Structure formats: structure tokens, C-alpha cells
């Protein structure tokens, strides 16, 4: 999953970004409203953390512009604890949730997990396809109950595929949603990671749709792919 953090306080931006990266997300950072709006308008983020008090362009006008342009990316806004009116404005402008400053990082992570799973149509953070289980809250993957050790990139890839189980995901979509903007996005690395995942999982849940991409699922008796 690829996220954007738009926060002008550089220390706070760094802290939030570091926590998200440690949780297995690819993170881009923005420090003012103009840059934040542009990135959110042109890049396919899975979720955005948006401060409201930004230089150059405020968070409310950014959010309104995204929604007016049809951008449906889940947005978690950051507000001052004593500014209840900002929370109302943010929700009315199209925010999906909010966190009041100062906040505990675990709350930000929990609310983002909720936004991501709702966007993908899941009720819980525990995803399962056949014998493979992915606990997004703990960042843990198991096969038939046995833990599987994955690298951060392997985990990101499996997480994205499992969040969208049953749907064919193209290589270009994987690259766009797995790597930060300044990462060297060589599509050949996807094949390498897919190969490693298949070997580590030891079960055939990642299917290749020739010329189209990959899909996670198990085949039923009729040959169709199901979650």
C-alpha cells in the first residue's frame, strides 16, 4: 500500500512517515498545500494523511478540490484538539476520518488500517485466501498457522494482492501502489518478488493472468478463481 503524508511540521511528518514505513507501507511526503494537492491529484495513493493547517494552500480547499475532481482516495485529516469546527469542516469536505493533535501513533495506524480495509471491502484486518492469512494489524503472515518471514517489499506486494483478492492486478498498478515516487520502478522486480512469494508461501494462491497481471485466489471446481 502506498500512502501520502501532507504535513508541514517536518518533525511530525518524519515521525508519522517512519511509523507508517515500519508498519509496511510505502510513503511519500509533502510539506505544503500546493505540493500535497498536486501529488494527491496525480498519483494513485491508497490513502492520504492530510493536515489542515498548511502553508500555500489549506487542507480543506485541497480536500474539496480532490473530491470535486472525483478523487475518492481515503483521507485521514489531522486537526487541532480544540478546533472542533475544523473536524466538522473536514468531514463535510469529504474526509473519511480524523485524528486530533496531539495523538498516539497507534491511533493513526489503526484508523488508516480501517480506511484501507473499508476501501477494499473488508470488515477486519485479518485477510485470508485459502490457507494463507495476513494480519494487517500485526504485519504477520501465516500458512496453515505457521509464520512466514517476508521482506518489507514482499509483504507490501502480498498485502496489496490480498486486499484485492479475486481481481486481476496489472504490473503497472502494482508498481504505482507499492513504491514511493522516487523509487526506481523497474517492472522486472515484480516478477522477482512474485517468484519469491510463491516459494515462501508454498501454496498456489498467486495466479498469473497472461498479458494482464496477477490475481490472488484459489480455483474452485469449475476452474474459477475465488478468495
SS3 49: strand
CATH number of 126-226: 3.40.50.10860, 1.10.10.10, 3.40.710.10, 3.40.50.300? Answer: 1.10.10.10
Q: Is the pLDDT of residue 182 over 70?
A: no
pLDDT value at residue 221: 42
Task: Record the pTM.
Answer: 0.75
- Give the number of other CB atoms < 10 A from CB of residue 75: 27
The average pLDDT across 193-198 equals: 93
- Could you read off the pLDDT of 120-134 as tens digits, one per residue? 787 677 899 999 999
Q: In what order do the strands lie in the sheet with 2-6?
A: 26-30, 2-6, 47-51, 75-80, 97-101
Q: What is the pLDDT of residues 98-153, one digit of tens each?
A: 999 889 999 999 999 999 988 878 767 789 999 999 998 888 999 999 999 999 88
Q: Tell me, what's the pLDDT at 141? A: 96
User: Cα(16)–Cα(125) distance, rounded to whole angstroms?
Assistant: 20
Measured distance CA(118)–CA(165) in Å, rounded: 14
Give dist(CA 93, CA 4) in Å, integer: 18
Question: Using an 8 Å Cβ cutoff, are 205 and 129 in contact?
Answer: yes
pLDDT of 226 higher than 80: no
Banded model confidence at residue 187, pLDDT cuts 50, 70, 90: low
* Strand boundaries in the chain, DSSP class E: 2-6, 26-30, 47-51, 75-80, 97-101, 126-129, 132-135, 140-143, 146-148, 206-209, 213-216, 218-219, 225-226
Provide the pLDDT for residue 1: 87
Higher pLDDT, 215 or 178: 215
Question: Is pLDDT above 90 for 169?
Answer: yes
- Tell me how far apart the alpha carbons of residues 204 and 210 are, in angstroms, rounded to a whole number: 16
139 three-class SS? coil
With beta carbons less than 8 A apart as the criterion, state whether 96 and 115 touch. yes
Segments making up each domain of the chain, as ranges: 2-119, 126-226
Class of 2-119 in CATH: alpha beta
Q: Please state, for a pLDDT cut of 70, what percent of the chain lies above it.
A: 91
Task: Answer for the pair 141, 190: CB distance below 8 angstroms, yes or no.
Answer: no
Residue 225 pLDDT level (bands cut at 50, 70, 90) = low
> Which residue's entry shows cell 481481481?
167
Among the residue ranges 61-70, 112-121, 206-215, the one predicted with the least confidence is 112-121
Q: Which of 37-41, 58-62, 190-194, 218-222 has the lowest mean pLDDT?
A: 218-222
Amino acid at each position: 500500500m502506498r500512502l501520502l503524508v501532507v504535513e508541514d511540521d517536518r518533525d511530525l511528518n518524519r515521525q508519522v512517515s517512519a511509523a507508517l514505513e515500519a508498519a509496511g507501507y510505502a510513503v511519500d511526503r509533502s510539506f505544503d498545500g500546493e505540493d500535497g494537492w498536486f501529488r494527491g491529484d496525480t498519483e494513485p495513493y491508497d490513502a492520504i494523511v492530510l493536515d489542515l493547517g498548511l502553508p500555500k494552500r489549506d487542507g480543506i480547499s485541497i480536500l474539496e478540490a480532490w473530491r470535486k475532481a472525483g478523487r475518492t482516495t481515503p483521507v485521514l485529516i489531522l486537526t487541532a484538539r480544540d478546533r472542533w469546527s475544523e473536524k466538522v469542516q473536514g468531514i463535510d469536505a469529504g474526509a473519511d476520518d480524523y485524528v486530533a493533535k496531539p495523538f498516539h501513533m497507534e491511533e493513526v495506524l489503526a484508523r488508516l488500517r480501517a480506511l484501507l480495509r473499508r476501501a477494499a471491502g473488508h470488515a477486519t484486518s485479518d485477510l485470508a485466501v485459502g490457507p494463507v492469512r495476513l494480519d494487517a494489524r500485526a504485519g504477520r503472515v501465516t500458512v496453515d498457522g505457521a509464520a512466514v518471514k517476508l521482506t518489507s517489499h514482499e509483504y507490501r506486494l502480498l498485502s496489496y494482492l490480498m486486499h484485492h483478492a479475486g481481481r486481476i492486478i496489472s504490473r503497472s498498478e502494482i508498481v504505482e501502489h507499492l513504491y514511493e515516487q522516487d523509487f526506481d520502478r523497474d517492472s522486472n522486480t515484480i516478477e522477482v518478488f512474485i517468484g519469491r512469494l510463491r516459494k515462501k508461501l508454498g501454496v498456489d494462491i498467486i495466479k498469473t493472468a497472461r498479458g494482464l497481471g496477477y490475481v490472488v485466489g484459489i480455483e474452485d471446481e469449475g476452474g474459477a478463481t475465488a478468495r
